[in-house]
A and B are shown apart, each in its own frame.
Chain A
Amino acid sequence: MGEAKKKDGVEIVGFACSFCTFKASEMAGSLRMKYPEGVKLVQVPCSSRVDPAFVIKAIFEGADGVFVAGCHPGDCHFIKGNYYTRRKIAALKEMFDAFSMKEKLRLFWVSAAEARRFVEKVTDMHNELKERKNEREKA
């Protein structure tokens, strides 16, 4: 983070599976679709590579939100990786819920062909976090 963060910016770290969601983001780029600039993607070989420790680290080192995105259940390149992701991230969400910060974590299923869906999901998350941040700053 060389330059100072924009004051109203919302930073989102996304863990994207290289076989589907990351491909979808590349496709969104080549189709000249726009998604918020605060979204930083981290390419992972499979969504199950994401240890929930990564998510917790991202949040406590300054990210406003984190999403984990992978292939639709059943479509995993490694056959069953995203079934494990689903269990792990669902449990992590429950834990975030217990700490009253449920909104900070999301789980998406986006296939390589769904560039539009990727943009929609990411923009939606960005807008909600931004709204919450503005409300907090007002109060």
Chain B
Amino acid sequence: MKGRKLKKGDIESALNEFLKGDQHLVLGFEKGENGVSPKIFKGSLDHYSLLNPVFGANAALYLRRLFSKGCQVMLMLRPCEIRAYVELQKLTQIEREDIIAVSIDCPGTISSKDKKGDVPTEADQLTDYFKSSDSMRWACSVCGERRGVVGDAGVRIDRNGNFWVIPYTEKGETLLARMEGESEEVPAEMLIGESKKADKFQVDMETFDKDFEKCTMCMNCRDMCPVCYCIDCVFHGDEYIPKGDALINKILRSGSTKMPQGKELFHLIRMYHVSQTCVGCGACEEACPQGIPLTKYFKGISERLQGMFAYMSGRSFDEAIPYLTFLEDELKDAED
């Protein structure tokens, strides 16, 4: 695979060059006084940071229903965010035409909830930081796809700490075209390699009840999930989670009910609905005010269900989402 080795400042100057174009935007990270946060840059970059060591929300969330014509947006995001973008594009929530998605190798992140003091933003310092402390988010520590191998292009880090830009599609070449130098063969070994496969997720309803005991049904997990995109969610009406009169009628019909009711309903239905598109970013857990280990469930279930169809969310633009397609000759043992 061919790529280009970067010198210091190469990315910034290429992005600045890109931003000079009419209606060109860059969604990336800004290094501010209080840490790093996502930012959409217009005109020119200032305090740009390639890596973001703090995870607050999945930035693909901001891209939903982006159909603008004539405006070029360059995404410089983590692999999980680019994968969520790919899934949303398959679900026709984003127009792919005007977007150049660049995934950047991710050394891992810490939760925005327990951010204390300074966290390094350079790749080599960050890997050392995570080696010496166990503050990495659980979702990141079990993440199998932290490599920047998705989207139109990728920024990879090799074992000597050099950055490489590797185009995967024609669109990815536009980033490379704004840089000087020649393409050369990319080293096979990178700093962040493939992770090992996790065990099959297995749990029972007692553990589930214990874990979700604190749930207050605020539904923040649904609102912050990048791939939970339905405008008219099934939980908006009175059919699944009744309120007011509907609730009283239901209790009169069926008997005493512990409140808030419908926790299993809400989480299991959501778990199923996002099962093929979940990227395991852990934005739901990040948004949960009660600290429920949501990633464990959502990632575990989605890995099992995606494994059935040899699918992986966000891996490529061309794979169809399994529930939206079928093969005639498959699943012979589905019937009981």
Please report A residues at the B interface, Cβ cutoff 8 Å: 1, 52-53, 56-57, 60-62, 73-74, 80, 83-84, 86-95, 98-101, 106-109, 121, 125
Query: Which chain B residues border A100 with CB–CB below 8 Å?
Result: 202-205
Please report B residues at the A interface, Cβ cutoff 8 Å: 200-205, 208, 234, 240, 253-254, 262, 264-265, 268-269, 271-273, 275-276, 300-301, 304-305, 308-309, 322-323, 326-328, 330-331, 334-336
Query: Which chain B residues border A87 with CB–CB below 8 Å?
Result: 309, 322-323, 326, 331
Q: Say yes or no: B203 contacts A95, CB within 8 Å.
A: no
**Closest beta carbon of chain B to A124's beta carbon, Å:** 9
Query: Which chain B residues border A83 with CB–CB below 8 Å?
Result: 326-328
**Closest beta carbon of chain B to A107's beta carbon, Å:** 6
Q: Say yes or no: B305 contacts A94, CB within 8 Å.
A: yes
- 23 contacting pairs across A/B (C-beta < 8 A): A1-B253, A1-B254, A52-B269, A53-B234, A56-B265, A56-B272, A60-B265, A61-B254, A73-B328, A84-B326, A89-B334, A90-B308, A91-B272, A91-B276, A91-B305, A91-B308, A91-B323, A94-B305, A95-B272, A95-B301, A98-B300, A99-B205, A107-B336
Query: Which chain B residues border A93 with CB–CB below 8 Å?
Result: 334
Query: Which chain A residues border B268 with CB–CB below 8 Å?
Result: 56, 60, 95, 99
Q: Say yes or no: B240 contacts A53, CB within 8 Å.
A: yes
Known contacts A91-B275, A98-B202, A100-B204, A108 near B336 by CB under 8 Å: yes
A105, closest chain B residue (CB): B336
Q: Say yes or no: A57 contacts B334, CB within 8 Å.
A: no
- Given A84-B323, A91-B322, 11 additional A-B pairs, CB 8 A: A1-B254, A56-B268, A83-B327, A86-B334, A87-B331, A90-B331, A91-B308, A94-B305, A98-B202, A99-B203, A107-B335
Query: Which chain A residues border B205 with CB–CB below 8 Å?
Result: 99-101
User: Complex: how many Å from CA A107 to CA B331?
Assistant: 12
**Closest beta carbon of chain A to B87's beta carbon, Å:** 16
Residue in B201, B208, B272, B326 whose beta carbon sits within 8 Å of that of A86 in the complex = B326
User: Complex: how many Å from CA A86 to CA B201?
Assistant: 22
Residue in B269, B276, B336 whose beta carbon sits within 8 Å of that of A53 in the complex = B269
Q: Say yes or no: B308 contacts A108, CB within 8 Å.
A: no
Known contacts A94-B305, A98-B201, A107 near B334 by CB under 8 Å: yes
